[in-house]
Structure 1
Amino acid sequence: MFLALKELKHAKLKFSLVVLIMVLIAWLVLFVTGLANGLASDNGSAIESSKATGFLVEKDSDNRLTRSSLSEEKVQRAEEKFGKNATALGVQMTTVTKPSAAKKTDVTFFGIDPSRFLVPEQVSGESLSGSKENSVIADEKLKESGYKLGDKVKDQMSGAVFEIIGFAKKATYSHTPVLYTSFDSFKKLQQRGASSYNAVALQNDSGEDFAQSGLVYASSKEVLENIPGYSEEQGSLLMMIAFLFVIAAFVLAAFFYVITIQKMNQLGILKAVGAKTSYLARSIVFQVIFLAFVSLVISNALTFLMALALPDSMPFNLSQLTALLCSGLFILMAVLGSILSLSRVVRVDALEAIGRVN
């Protein structure tokens, strides 16, 4: 440790540049990770944050709520079997405007029973229970389009007009704000003869033993992963994150290898006067971990400060646990990248090093 700290103190500029590169790489990794989590949440937070653990959907729907259509009879039979642990869900993706404006906003209507567990977590306004017809609770994201409490929204397809009586958080579906309404109001969105039910949400019941023809059970995770574009979007971002970690390992390996080559003579002399190879190797590993730790402290601080400055429309979500896991993985990749330098330390010949000095 003494040798490592002495060298860090002696070559401040050189190691400061290394820290700068590591900060930029770690910052990029943390930002892309936060972006991936934010996009995942923005794509299906209405499913992810709901109390439902799974859904009964149509067999050939590929676990997509918008492809599933259930008859009222099937919904009633499911609710009779599971009791309070089951409630119907209707899903309708559409476009709305203000009655007096032409600006269009894509939204998703959720038809729910206001007395059951699919009611969202509200942050303001009134609840759906006991409210008048054509009332909706909207996700806060709708505020970005200029809507506020008491405003009315007009569905472009049916012409039905709804009043916003409350706002909820974490209620988006396929990157659109969700508008929750009762089934009596939801039916006004449907074309004549169309089913108002897309699924039956289940709470604390697997539903796998529900032997009703034409229905299958899908967990909330499966429904989330089958939202259009969700898997492709997350797959691309996760691949980017993986490549960034690999690039970080190669960059750090190159830096420390060059630094090690530059001090081969000194390492040889240290070996000649009795320094063990294990001691020199520990010194290099300590340097790597110390520099990685410093760079991660700086990059984490920059990331969370930047998150505070980002606009609400930016889907960014990075928890402290996720940041800690990414930091731990970054330190691991840094240590792995130092293996090449360690191999050079092992092969240092003390006599040759002394000869080169002379």
Structure 2
Amino acid sequence: MFLALRELKHAKLRYLLIGVIMVLIVWLVLFVSGLAKGLSSDNASAVQEMKGNYVVLQKEADQRLTRSVLSANKTEDIQQLSGKKNAEPLGVMMTAVINEGKQKKIDASFFAISTSGFLAPNVIEGKMITDDAKHEAVADSSLKEEGVKLGDTIKDTASGKSFTIVGFTKNQSFSHAPVIHINLTEWKTIESTGAFNAVVLNMDDKKAHALQKKGSNIDVISKDEALKGIPGYQEEQGTLLMMIAFLFIIGAFVLAVFFYVMTLQKMNQFGVLKAIGAKTSYLARTILSQVVVLTLCSLAISIGLTYGVAAILPDSMPFYLDLSLIAGCSALFVAVSVLSSLLSLYRVAKVDAVEAIGRAV
């Protein structure tokens, strides 16, 4: 570490330029990762936040929540087989609503649930509706951006039904639209047949697999599989993850080239150090120490820049960055940086002390 720090201090400009490049690469990776996480949440947070771990859909629905139709009788049969405490019906409807006294249509999704069951979301403002409440709903707080407030009445353009907003939830969106939760009683006035889209299960793997064998014309899938069935979810995430992967690959090549060129420039010095007794392992630790120090400093600056940009982003741009995402990206970038220095380490290991001294002389 002593030699590594001495060299960093001696060649400030050279290492500063490498540090700037590393900062920009990490900053871009973190920013794109935050956008990917934000888009994921904006598209499917209502499903992601569900306390259930399995979803029962119609067999012919191709694992898509919005295509599934389970009749009232079928829903009842599934609940009987699963145990009513472990299975709750879910109705989903994409629609548009109008705030009372205004003409602008707002895209939204209705989620019909048992408000006393495990599917009930957490209310951050106002109150939760009850199972027998009429003409009441709780909505995602993103509707506030459209001017909707507690006590406002919204009208469903499809059914003509009106609901008073009595509470707001957080992180409850579906297909990039805020979710409005209503009870099962109000759902029956919208969906005249009484059918549901799914039954959400809260049980272990063994019981879920047993239900798949017992039930007929149903598909029991995990919550992750249900997320992939949301229109556009898998395509969005796949595109952004590919961008992140390419950024890491490009970063690895750029850093490998920089470290290798700098190593070539110092071959004479490495040869002299070997001639006076320095071991290859010591020189390798020196290079690795420089790489790790540069990487950690770059990570600290990049994380600060990312949070700074996130603070000024408009609310309409979905961006989400949590500690687990930062830790994962940071660990991966440290690993990429260390791997990119392997070529330099190999070159140092092969240097011939006598030949290097001859070149130096």
Alignment TM-score, normalising by the size of structure 2: 0.94
Measured after TM superposition, the shift of residue 228 of structure 1 is 0.8
**1:71 alignment counterpart:** 71
Alignment counterpart, residue 294 of structure 2, candidates 291, 295, 301: 291
**Paired residues, number:** 356
**2:201 alignment counterpart:** 202
The alignment status of 1:307 with 2:288, answered yes or no, reads no
The alignment status of 1:17 with 2:20, answered yes or no, reads no
Preserved contact between residue 70 and residue 195 of structure 1 (Cα < 8 Å) = no
Matches for 1:133-152 after TM superposition, within 5 Å: 133-152=134-153
| Cα-to-partner distance string for 1:202-222 (whole Å, 9 max, x where unaligned) | 112543323232112112111
Measured after TM superposition, the shift of residue 104 of structure 1 is 1.6
Q: Distance in 2 between matches of 1:339 and 1:170?
A: 44
Give the 3-state SS of the residue equivalent to 1:200 in structure 2: strand
Give the 3-state SS of the residue equivalent to 1:228 in structure 2: coil
| Cα-to-partner distance string for 1:123-169 (whole Å, 9 max, x where unaligned) | 01121116641211101111122211111212222222221111001
Give the 3-state SS of the residue equivalent to 1:88 in structure 2: strand
Which amino acid is the alignment partner of residue 199 of structure 2?
Answer: V
Q: Distance in 2 between matches of 1:274 and 1:142?
A: 70
Q: Distance in 2 between matches of 1:260 and 1:198?
A: 62
After superposition, the Cα gap between the structure-2 partners of 1:61 and 1:130, relative to the gap in structure 1 and judged at 3 Å, is: closer
Matches for 1:16-95 after TM superposition, within 5 Å: 16-81=16-81, 82-95=83-96
Which amino acid is the alignment partner of residue 294 of structure 1?
Answer: C
| Cα-to-partner distance string for 1:228-278 (whole Å, 9 max, x where unaligned) | 111111111111111111111111111111111111222222222222222
The alignment status of 1:170 with 2:171, answered yes or no, reads yes
Give the 3-state SS of the residue equivalent to 2:149 in structure 1: coil
Alignment TM-score, normalising by the size of structure 1: 0.94
**1:180 alignment counterpart:** 181
Preserved contact between residue 133 and residue 183 of structure 2 (Cα < 8 Å) = no
Which amino acid is the alignment partner of residue 265 of structure 1?
Answer: N
Displaced runs of 4 or more, over 6 A: none
Coordinate RMSD, CA, aligned: 1.6
Matches for 1:116-265 after TM superposition, within 5 Å: 116-129=117-130, 132-190=133-191, 194-205=193-204, 206-210=207-211, 211-265=214-268
Measured after TM superposition, the shift of residue 65 of structure 1 is 1.4
| Cα-to-partner distance string for 1:44-83 (whole Å, 9 max, x where unaligned) | 1111111112122101111211111111111122223312
The percentage of aligned residue pairs carrying the same residue is 51
Q: Distance in 2 between matches of 1:196 and 1:153?
A: 24
Which amino acid is the alignment partner of residue 196 of structure 1?
Answer: A
Give the 3-state SS of the residue equivalent to 1:207 in structure 2: helix
Give the 3-state SS of the residue equivalent to 1:84 in structure 2: coil
